[in-house]
Amino acid sequence: MRRLRSFRVSGKNPLNHWTRFRNPFRVAYNFIMITLSRYAPSLALKRALLRMTGMTVGKDAAVGLVAMFDVFYPELIELGDNCIVGYNATILAHEFLRDRLRIGNTIIGKGALVGANATVLAGVEVGAGAVVSAACLVDGDVPAGSFAKGNPMRVVRRRADNVL
């Protein structure tokens, strides 16, 4: 289940009105910090840059090269202790639809793994110790200790090696 707050937007294309919801200077700042973190060679530096956007980043969280985080609402993203976000993964906290903006907290739990090129949509929780396979579209919650794959995502099984 995705936990989202919805805001109606008048006009033909809500993305054209994004400045009603976010300060452009704040979005530019977030973009710079997140872009720097994408290429930073040090995991400690990546964590520091992401925290500067307001994102909650747990102890020893590891973020792979060119992973992308939501530039509009990074403060709604939480990375748990010792989680891994893989190469080129995308973690979102907002989505513009034809007539509305939806935002929600996105949580990657303690010890969870989000594989390379996976996309985690707004309002989703990946539970503690869960594994999301590479290239998966995470459009719903992933229970703690489970394994999810595919597009659309499906939870395949509970993991027996749920070590945090």
The burial class, CB within 10 Å (0-12 / 13-18 / 19+), for 13 is: exposed
Q: What is the CATH number of the domain that holds 130?
A: 2.160.10.10
Does residue 163 sit within a domain? no
What does each C-alpha distance from 164 to 35, 81, 125, 144 come to in angstroms?
Answer: 29, 9, 17, 11
Whether this model's pTM surpasses 0.85: yes
- Residues 6 or more apart whose CB falls under 8 angstroms from that of 4 comprise 95, 102, 103, 104, 122, 123
pLDDT digits (tens, 9 = 90+) for 112-145: 999 999 999 999 999 999 999 999 999 999 999 9
Q: Which two tokens stand for residue 142?
A: 């992933």
Give residue 95's domain range. 5-9+22-158
69 vs 8, higher pLDDT = 69
Please tell me which residue, 160 or 143, carries the higher pLDDT value: 143
| Residue 15 covered by a domain | no
